[in-house]
Amino acid sequence: MAITDFLERNARIYPNDISLVELNPANRPDVSVSWREYSLTEASSGEKYRRDMTWREFDVKANRFANLLLTRGIKRGDKVAILLMNCIEWLPIYFGILKTGALAVPLNFRYTADEIEYCLNLVRADALVFGPEFVERVEEVAGNFDGVNDYFFVGEKGKPAFAGSYEHLVGYCSSIAPAVEICEEDDAAIYFSSGTTGRPKAILHNHGSLTAAAKTEQNHHSQTREDVFLCIPPLYHTGAKMHWFGSLMVGGKAILLRGVSPQWVLQTVSDERATLVWLLVPWAQDILDAIERGEVNLDDYRLSQWRLMHIGAQPVPPSLIKRWMKIFPNHEYDTNYGLSESSGPGCVHLGVENIHKVGAIGKAGYLWQTDIVDEKGKSVSQGQVGELAVKGPGVMKGYVNNPEATAEILKDGWLYTGDMARADGDGFIYLVDRKKDVIISGGENIYPVQIEDFLRSHEKIADVAVIGLPDQRLGEISAAVVQVKVGFELDEKELEEFCMELPRYKRPRKYIFADVPRNPTGKIEKPKLREKYCAGRLVEEQTTN
């Protein structure tokens, strides 16, 4: 079964039901009025406060874009990249690509121009769909792509001359589904991740992998057609999309909230009658803090239908969930673990019935197997630390154009996650440390090598190592251990100004001036740095709390 079959079935069985709603809270002038009263109203900027579409409209839009791509010569096996902020066009474009037999290639909207260029050349993309936020970045590198022949601009204003207007062009295309047969084994999508090198790797999934993700998600959280899923994280990320796949599978409505604040989240849950909300740790903490400070009064909202809050993408502090359950005692809670290589979250999950095990990531998810192995790939004893390996229908086919990296992570059908873990006597898995050096801050991956390379270009820096320090709100923050060249003076203010060239999320949150230890082979001894600085940070947080 192809993932597109779910959409076509919903359009056939529930044609007039709402499938997607986009909310733009920043454009809402009167917080005392429901979103619904602004459905047809526009802000001075021309943007609507609320847009929605039915399942039939969703399928028609996907068909029109598919037929547009076919007229441009896009065919089975070609790659079409998506560089968009969350919007109501995002998913119809994604499914339109899949209906041609081509592969959808979502791009991180935080990518720099150089990263966009690298990713599109790595997968040899044939077309790019992008929004107004990315015109400058795309213009900077548009002539450097090996195979991109078509550019489609999604927006009403600011279209560059080299791109076609998505809205204008699809209006001339047929609304009938193209006659392209698709099966589970067909390639469907390429997502990007990175290892310790910092360069994104292209992760290939087929339709069977995406369909399995939908089945796993629906099994874990029991979505029905009556459920309403609030989606806040970016759709380029496997986490957001694969959680939404559970709603797709049953024909449930989803809300795309463009922006996040405690008030916006609660108002949306109230007005749209959301029942399922997936949060990142910082957002959950912000909601609790706003309630406890008296900035939010829960009596102002209709929240009785909200049945499940689940968190993923980073370790979850047990203290946070205890606070949450105290304020929302009727909520079910779940946490999910996964990787882009495992088609997103769900290969391990806690389960709503296991809240007494908060702190664990859980057990093998529906359709999945888990193992904890030593360096030789042998299962370790209960309680011992080893590398977490997972096996299931959502495992990637491999890294595109990188057989060496594929062989390192895929072994006999098992996906080696790079995460060190242990299991307790009940079989619940606890993460101990990451084998890789990736820092997860607020649900976003930060790759130390990229920041280290940038900082080493500073004339006063002899050496640098970037590590993650524990942080109650974000899970981790990035800290740069900076070794200053002999005879030079350097302070935090100068480094902060220097790092303004980096995207905001890549800028170190803390600077530590000290020697950078390296082993005899020249590798930075990051475990020593973590042992030295993380322990102090934990003591500091515990003392503060």
- Contact at 8 Å (CB) between 230 and 203? no
Tell me the per-residue pLDDT of 346-360, one tens digit each, with 9 for 90 and over: 999 999 999 999 889
The confidence score (pLDDT) of residue 521 equals 44
Going by C-beta distance under 8 Å and a sequence separation of 6 or more, which residues neighbour residue 2? 98, 182, 183, 184, 186, 188, 207, 211
Which pLDDT score, from 0 to 100, does residue 38 have?
Answer: 47
116-174 tens-digit pLDDT: 999 999 999 999 999 999 999 999 999 888 889 999 999 989 999 999 999 999 999 99
CATH superfamily of 3-312: ANL, N-terminal domain (3.40.50.12780)
| Tokens 């204003």, residue located | 157
What mean pLDDT do residues 183-193 have? 95
Identify the top-confidence range among 12-21, 322-331, 415-424, 454-463.
12-21
At 418-448, the pLDDT tens digits run: 888 899 999 999 987 666 677 888 877 787 8
Distance between CA atoms of 439 and 261, rounded to whole angstroms?
A: 24
Superfamily in which the 439-544 domain is placed by CATH: ANL, C-terminal domain (3.30.300.30)
Residue 372 dihedral angles phi and psi, to the nearest 5°: -120, 120
- % of residues, the chain, pLDDT over 70: 91
Q: Do 3-312 and 439-544 show the same overall fold?
A: no
CA distance 85 to 132: 9
Look up tokens 């005879």; give the residue. 487
Q: Taking 60 as the threshold, does the pLDDT of residue 541 lie above it? A: no
Close Cβ partners of 161 (under 8 Å, ≥ 6 residues apart) = none
pTM of the model: 0.83
Bridge partner residues of 479 (DSSP)? 467, 510
Question: In the β-sheet with 200-206, what is the strand arrangement from edge to edge?
Answer: 164-165, 150-153, 127-130, 79-83, 103-106, 187-194, 200-206, 398-399
The single-letter DSSP state of residue 163 is S
Provide the pLDDT for residue 391: 98
**Contact (Cβ atoms closer than 8 angstroms) between residue 142 and residue 161:** no
Asked if the model's pLDDT at residue 33 lies above 90, the reply is no
Going from N- to C-terminal start, the domains of the chain cover: 3-312, 439-544
